[in-house]
Structure 1
Amino acid sequence: MSYYIKVLSELLTVSREDNSFTSAMESPALYEALLAYASGHLSSLDSSYSVVALRARSKSLNHLSKALDTSSWDSLHPESTVAVSLILLTSEVCLGSHKGWYSHLIGAKHLILSTQSTVQLRTEPSGGLRDFTSFKSTPGGRWILRNFAYHDVISSVTLGRGPLLNGRYLEGITDVVDTYLGVASGILVMISDISSLDIHPKGEDDVVEFNHRCLEIEDTLRSWTYSTVSLEPLSAIAGAYQASALLYLYRQKRQFAENIKGYFGLLPASTLSMDDLDYKIHLAVRNILHHISKVPVDHISESCLLFPLFLAGGDASSVSQIKIVRQRLQSMLKKRQFRNIHRALDILETLWAMKSDDTKQEGDKSPDWTTLLEDQDEPLLLT
């Protein structure tokens, strides 16, 4: 129940500090969403709660539908309604609805954008840039943006496409200790940039531009730091996400290099150096696991470690590294019983078995978790 308690605590704290954020007691939709999440989690631990969980989910969806009614929805105070979508998203993930969660994410995106457009039309007839001022102006709104970005940006990695909203809107609102990533929220901006890279070039100019952009992102990532004072384990989580973003960047570069083989002429050496990329990936995996080792097992903060653990497991190069990832995921699953942890571990177990298969022929392409996800045709959210 740690996640539920964390979310509820954050909502209540924000509602006290920010009058524009409707508290759960004042919003039936938000209240029912929290009950749906809690009862759904209980049903995963005790099947006798299944009927109660289904009834709570039905009520929460009904209240969300009413909250979205154009005749009653107050678009000037959208935080609680977007929060409902995000809580229901998390509930779907934890209960194993691997397609349902994305619908709530898309809904949250449209709520954020529609409100932004409404405010701009009222205050700026010319439209202006989408800077999400209406959300950034309140503590609750800033928390919603970080919450949305966490799910949107992390999902872009496993979906293999850019996020629904470019993560640049996070700039200026990550210098806090957040309930999801502690002091690491700023890393989401760079992961968003990596997901937005085009790994299917159409000419040599695209290749040069890709290589230049990768160097920029890598330099930014390596020099990134947080200004908020933080001790372990939050600083360790920040290090794990920083190393994970670098690993993701190198994976994108590796796939890019595979895609352009035989199609273009002389290219920058750093684009095609597979040995160099493999070595950087190896170092990134080692760094991820090093930072994760500093996060105590069963500590509440480890709830956000699924993403770095999965990435590290996908490119683990030794039995000892695989053992570390497996044991940590098994421990997290035993405590939380979240279905996305179970599915992530299953995918890694399949991948590890394929990599150790002695029947592989020389020259066969090494298996990868991206291929396994494509074959399953169900999105995986690592939050």
Structure 2
Amino acid sequence: MASTLPAQKKGRSRRSGTPWTRGGCITCKSRRKGGCDRATPSCNNCLKLGRVCEGYDDLWVTPLGPSALVFKSDKGPKRRRLNSSSPSQPPSPCSSPSSSDLWQDAQLSPQPVTPGWSVPSSPQCRVIDLDVEESSQEQASAELDCLSVIPKPQGFLSHLSGHEAHYLQYHEAMASQRLANLESEHNPLRSFLIPRAMSSPLLMKAVCAISAMHLSNRTDSLDAKTAAIDFYGRTLRGLQAVMAQSVTEVVPDDAMLAVGMLCKYEVVRGSVKHWVVHLTALHRLIESRGGLGSMDSEAAHFLRGLYVYAYSMGQISNRKKVLGNLILADTDMETPRLSIYLGFTEDLLKICACVAELPALAGDDLSLRLAIASINDSLLTWTPSSTRLNIPQDLTQSTLVRLKLVAECFRDAGFIYLHSILEHMSRDISPPYHTTSQTPNSIPKWSTLITTPKHIAIDRLLARIQSFPLDDHCEYSALTFPLFIAGAESDVFEHRELVLQSLSKLQENFGIGNTLRAKDILRILWARQDAAVQDLSRKAHWMDILEELQWELTLA
């Protein structure tokens, strides 16, 4: 009887059904069911089938790990024909590791990088698991469509786990846009970094660490924070293995990009210490390669913007110059592109870095006065076109207008910062209490060399910011430093609420942790100033607060 029956066809066939669309509820999407009418509170599709409609919320409200419904069916997993890398298990909660310790002590064999990937120019392709059994077809299809925005390499990604796929998707859809000061069609956090991470397990982990930390900041998700710590530690251990091999070999570009991403991770986390470790390491690695000119052109442009931005911001907010003289030479590069971090503010940031060096001239009054006059003239004559830059063709006029408005805020912030540093220097060299023999005329009048008074620069800056919507246009994410310096130097009580509200908007819209650190410093400073309101000679200064806390604050 068995011999008379036709042999049963093995394998699986594609299940027919209504085409799946992105417009349905979460339940219909996960079951790959079309025809969802998006009715509220439950769609009619779910009501007819007796299922619980999960609504239409943002899939990123809570992190989607390998155990989430859209990644796994209710039934137990079945055997797969290919042995792909299994989804990574959720990492156990732990404290953030010490960067310097892991740089020196961690050991981990590097994962193999599959060579020969060629990434297509169009991002509309999928990372496909070809070995899902028939019973898992519905939820697998939903997963594929969730990942449809990830560029697909021409090969099998053995190092892409379920957690990595999730956080890579979040990076493409959300974090890459919120973690830049300029959004464009060719944002390198997407167009450059994602294809590189696809073929580099080390860089992939660094990108996922940033993505998970950003998601944690926006949602207060413990799972995302735990995943961020896990990816961060694995990246550090992977870098240690690369450094051990670099004694006889050149450090690869992807390892240097991973170091830059760890510095960015610490800024997103709101670190007041570890970002310095990573930025210093990046500078040494670039020097060991012979400069940016020895690197791949795209990698060099990306790291240049990241480094100059982070270095300049670190110089501005740290009296002890925690980075030392680590200026990055880029004379061997072509004309710099408009950076997603610097925008039109590069010259202004360099001017502010010069202001930070003025205390070193305190013993030479003539040199100090000449330096103040030069800085003042540079701020007065600055224009957005002062620096020659290659501007991408896809930038809209409205984007360029926002970049210029932000840069004008930085110019006002430069004047305020100049006044702030000179006042702090005056207090350092003057006695705290005036006697009959020590009159106010004995205090140096350096501020008279500045053509824009401090209160005018503060009023102009805050009036401009008050006219901004401070929405999710990422150009506004660069305003942390102007807001901080205006709040720290203003004597008008009403300005405090505006500064705090604006910093809170930046935190809500962009999820960068250093805005919280900026608010912490301002609250402490204002409390000190209110307590000493009757004793102006003992007025607190924000740099004194940073020194007391031993914080190495970055406002990048």
Interval of TM-score (by shorter of Structure 1 and Structure 2): 0.7 to 0.9
Within the candidate set 216, 228, 244, 1:53 is matched to: 228
1:13 deviation in Å?
3.1
Aligned partners of 1:12 and 1:23 also within 8 Å: no
Aligned partners of 2:308 and 2:328 also within 8 Å: no
Alignment of 1:167-316 (within 5 A): 169=329, 176-199=337-360, 201-202=362-363, 206-227=364-385, 231-261=400-430, 272=445, 280-298=453-471, 299-316=473-490
Query: When the two structures are superposed, what TM-score results if normalisation uses the length of structure 2?
Result: 0.57
Look up the equivalent residue of 2:302 and give its one-letter code.
W
2:90 corresponds in structure 1 to none
1:255 and 1:189 map into 2 onto residues whose CA distance is 20
1:360 deviation in Å?
4.2
Look up the equivalent residue of 2:379 and give its one-letter code.
L
User: Relative to 1, partners in 2 of residues 1:222 and 1:167: Cα closer, same or farther, differing over 3 Å?
Assistant: farther
CA RMSD of aligned residues (A): 3.2
Aligned partners of 1:109 and 1:165 also within 8 Å: no
2:349 and 2:227 map into 1 onto residues whose CA distance is 36
Aligned partners of 2:420 and 2:489 also within 8 Å: no
Aligned partners of 1:296 and 1:302 also within 8 Å: no
1:238 deviation in Å?
0.7
Rg larger in 1 or in 2?
Answer: 2
1:129 corresponds in structure 2 to none
2:72 corresponds in structure 1 to none
**Greater share of helix residues, 1 or 2?**
1
1:169 deviation in Å?
4.1
Look up the equivalent residue of 2:527 and give its one-letter code.
A
> Is 1:65–2:224 an aligned residue pair?
no
Aligned partners of 2:402 and 2:475 also within 8 Å: yes
Within the candidate set 539, 542, 546, 1:366 is matched to: 539
Look up the equivalent residue of 1:224 and give its one-letter code.
W
List runs of 5+ in structure 2 lacking aligned partners: 1-170, 181-185, 392-396, 432-440
Q: Secondary structure at the match of 2:538?
A: coil
Aligned partners of 1:232 and 1:295 also within 8 Å: no
The superposition leaves residues 214-237 of structure 1 with CA deviations (integer Å, 9 ceiling, x where unpaired) of 111211121111226863211111
2:534 and 2:325 map into 1 onto residues whose CA distance is 42
List runs of 5+ in structure 1 lacking aligned partners: 17-21, 120-131, 263-267
Aligned partners of 1:155 and 1:380 also within 8 Å: yes
Q: Secondary structure at the match of 1:23?
A: helix
1:327 deviation in Å?
0.9
Aligned partners of 2:484 and 2:518 also within 8 Å: yes
Look up the equivalent residue of 1:207 and give its one-letter code.
D
Alignment of 1:338-349 (within 5 A): 338-349=512-523
Aligned partners of 1:183 and 1:235 also within 8 Å: yes
User: Relative to 1, partners in 2 of residues 1:362 and 1:159: Cα closer, same or farther, differing over 3 Å?
Assistant: closer
2:442 and 2:302 map into 1 onto residues whose CA distance is 42
1:251 deviation in Å?
1.9
Aligned partners of 2:412 and 2:457 also within 8 Å: yes
1:381 corresponds in structure 2 to 554
Aligned partners of 1:142 and 1:173 also within 8 Å: no
Percentage identity across paired residues of the two chains:
23
Look up the equivalent residue of 1:70 and give its one-letter code.
S
Q: Which moved more, 1:340-349 or 1:248-257?
A: 248-257
The superposition leaves residues 58-112 of structure 1 with CA deviations (integer Å, 9 ceiling, x where unpaired) of 221122223333157534x53x333222211121232243212111111111112
Q: Secondary structure at the match of 2:546?
A: helix
1:122 corresponds in structure 2 to none
Q: Secondary structure at the match of 1:257?
A: helix
Look up the equivalent residue of 2:205 and give its one-letter code.
E
Aligned partners of 2:250 and 2:289 also within 8 Å: no
Within the candidate set 500, 503, 512, 1:329 is matched to: 503
The superposition leaves residues 155-175 of structure 1 with CA deviations (integer Å, 9 ceiling, x where unpaired) of 112211445446584788786
Q: Which moved more, 1:1-10 or 1:103-112?
A: 1-10
> Is 1:74–2:250 an aligned residue pair?
yes
Within the candidate set 265, 272, 275, 1:98 is matched to: 272
User: Relative to 1, partners in 2 of residues 1:73 and 1:325: Cα closer, same or farther, differing over 3 Å?
Assistant: farther
Look up the equivalent residue of 1:102 and give its one-letter code.
V
User: Relative to 1, partners in 2 of residues 1:244 and 1:379: Cα closer, same or farther, differing over 3 Å?
Assistant: same
The superposition leaves residues 101-133 of structure 1 with CA deviations (integer Å, 9 ceiling, x where unpaired) of 1111111111122222xx7xxxxxxxxxxxx54
User: Relative to 1, partners in 2 of residues 1:110 and 1:329: Cα closer, same or farther, differing over 3 Å?
Assistant: same
1:254 and 1:278 map into 2 onto residues whose CA distance is 16
The superposition leaves residues 263-305 of structure 1 with CA deviations (integer Å, 9 ceiling, x where unpaired) of xxxxx99951557869722122223223333543222212111
Aligned partners of 2:503 and 2:519 also within 8 Å: yes
1:360 and 1:308 map into 2 onto residues whose CA distance is 24
1:348 and 1:370 map into 2 onto residues whose CA distance is 11
Within the candidate set 127, 135, 144, 2:303 is matched to: 144
Query: When the two structures are superposed, what TM-score results if normalisation uses the length of structure 1?
Result: 0.80
User: Relative to 1, partners in 2 of residues 1:168 and 1:97: Cα closer, same or farther, differing over 3 Å?
Assistant: closer
User: Relative to 1, partners in 2 of residues 1:15 and 1:297: Cα closer, same or farther, differing over 3 Å?
Assistant: closer
**How many equivalent pairs are there?**
352
2:375 and 2:330 map into 1 onto residues whose CA distance is 16
2:240 and 2:360 map into 1 onto residues whose CA distance is 39
